[in-house]
Amino acid sequence: MNIVVLIKQVPGTDNVKLDPETGVMIRSGKDTIINPLDENALEEAIRIKNSHPNVKVTAVSMGPESAIKALKEAVAMGADAGVLISGRAFAGSDTIATAKALAATIKKLGPVDLVICGERATDGETGQTGAMIANYLDIPVQTYVSSVEIQQAGVVVKRTVEGGFERVEVPFPVLITVNKDINEPGFPTLAGKLRAKQVEITIWRPEELGLDKSELGLVGSPTRVVKVFSPKLARDTILHKADGTTGPVDELMKFLAAKEVL
């Protein structure tokens, strides 16, 4: 059984920055982490590997070469291999261009039974990429998954839906997006860290995926960020200091009356 886990390196929550000219997220490689929900996806893949025979887990990411660090972390956690798709042609890709590139990568990896990814990423928060990848692969997709049971010919998943849950049986191959309720991500072991140091992360460029550069990056992204700006808060502050008289209170009452609050 072959499982592909899609992981994304994202800025720490307090470090998300956009280029005001292009509307593209700035990815310097500094202060980055694995997208939290992708950690849940990786943990679930490792759980399946540890409880079933002949399971291979491959972690896949798209981004600058600094994302090798995230893939090494995935191997340290228990993944068998890591693949990075990287190159200037991918820069500025929206969810459509990203999904095309990741789908091409999964196809190149050969027959894959199960693709697992986080429900959404903390930088974009769109939750679109997983479903789009399934569309380009022409396989079923199940979203908001909080439980997975491996069957002989497919999976039974529990999906979180409005007002409760639903159980769905889906044949292989299938793509699922998981939420935080599925598990509690673990930590890499010492043996895992030592193995990660020895593992060579495979890097594929656009030409190796058979993709035309017109389908990638800003050129291949129909989504456009029209304007990026930081909201400006303007407050006129009037400060009245207590002076032992009723003056400050009287001024406050006049202000509230003028604003028709009273």
pLDDT one digit per residue (tens) for the chain, 262 residues: 999 999 998 887 555 555 556 555 555 556 788 899 999 999 999 999 999 999 999 999 998 998 999 999 999 999 999 999 998 888 888 889 999 999 999 999 989 999 999 998 887 778 889 999 999 999 999 999 999 999 999 999 999 988 899 999 999 999 999 999 999 998 888 999 999 999 999 999 988 998 888 888 888 888 877 776 677 777 777 777 777 788 888 888 888 888 887 7
CA-based max dimension of the chain: 82
User: What radius of gyration, in Å, describes the C-alpha atoms of the chain?
Assistant: 24
Q: What is the predicted pLDDT for the residue at 204?
A: 94
Give the Cα separation of 166 and 179 in Å (integer). Answer: 14
Q: Which one of 3.40.50.2300, 3.40.50.620, 3.40.50.1100, 3.30.420.40 gives the CATH number of domain 2-215?
A: 3.40.50.620
Q: What is the pTM of this model?
A: 0.78
CA 91 to chain centre: 16
CA distances for 150 relative to 7, 43, 153, angstroms: 21, 15, 8
Task: Check: CB of residue 77 under 8 Å from CB of residue 57.
Answer: no
Is the backbone peptide bond immediately before 36 cis, with ω within 30 degrees of 0?
A: no
C-alpha span between 196 and 232 (Å, rounded):
46
CA distance 215 to 191: 41
